[in-house]
């Protein structure tokens, strides 16, 4: 699924008969940190959840199950605020703009709040919000089991 993008950060370099060469910007963002709060605005990667092969919580800019290379994630046009409430607790609020036309449309947009708590041998997280017009509630966890990790996600 294509990431939500509102800013036109692409251009056709050449559009001859039979060939089109298009350039686009995948990441272009600015971040400022003020004490425990970091505000990031622009085209940025947004990854949610813990899974390695399948990520049910990663609803903003997902990879298809058939995609082999998932190391580089295209960016979504977003505003993100991360607050390190304690050294082991992070609250993240993000908003992405989906399709915009003459009227403000929420199709493709996402607004969510995520809380992540670090534990002695892992982390737990909770997510709630509106993603592409649907209400979403989810939870994820990872436990350090020595030589491997155990991941779980529920949406």
As a whole number, the mean pLDDT across the chain is 85
User: How confident is the model over 97-112, as a mean pLDDT?
Assistant: 70
pLDDT at position 26 is 80
Query: What was the pLDDT predicted at 128?
Result: 96
Domain boundaries, the chain: 25-154
Counting residues of the chain whose pLDDT is more than 70, the rounded percentage is 89
- Does the pLDDT at position 107 exceed 90? no
Closest by alpha carbon to 8, among 37, 43, 35? Answer: 43
70, 63 Cβ separation under 8 angstroms: yes
The C-alpha atoms of residue 151 and residue 149 are separated, in whole angstroms, by 6
The pTM for the full model equals 0.81
Q: What is the pLDDT of residues 113-132, one digit of tens each?
A: 999 999 999 999 999 999 88
pLDDT band at residue 109, thresholds of 50, 70 and 90? confident
What would the pLDDT profile of 33-78 be if each residue is shown by its tens digit? 999 999 999 989 888 877 777 778 888 777 777 777 777 788 888 9
Where would I find the beta strands (DSSP E) of 35-144?
A: 37-44, 76-86, 89-96, 110-119, 122-131, 134-144
Averaged over 101-107, what is the pLDDT?
Answer: 59
Which pLDDT score, from 0 to 100, does residue 45 have?
87
The model's confidence at residue 99, banded by pLDDT at 50, 70 and 90, is: low
């Amino acid at each position: 699924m294509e990431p939500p993008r509102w800013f036109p950060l692409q251009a056709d370099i050449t559009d001859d008969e039979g060939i089109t060469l298009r350039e686009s910007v995948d990441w272009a963002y600015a971040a400022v940190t003020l004490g425990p709060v970091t505000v990031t605005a622009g085209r940025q990667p947004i990854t949610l959840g813990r899974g390695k092969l399948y990520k049910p919580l990663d609803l903003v800019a997902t990879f298809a199950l058939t995609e082999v290379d998932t190391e580089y994630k295209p960016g979504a046009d977003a505003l993100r605020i991360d607050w390190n409430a304690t050294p082991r607790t992070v609250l993240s609020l993000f908003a992405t703009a989906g399709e915009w036309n003459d009227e403000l449309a929420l199709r493709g947009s996402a607004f969510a709040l995520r809380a992540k708590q670090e534990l002695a041998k892992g982390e737990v997280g909770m997510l709630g919000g509106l993603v592409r017009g649907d209400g979403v509630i989810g939870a994820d966890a990872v436990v350090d089991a020595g030589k491997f990790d155990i991941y779980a996600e529920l949406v």
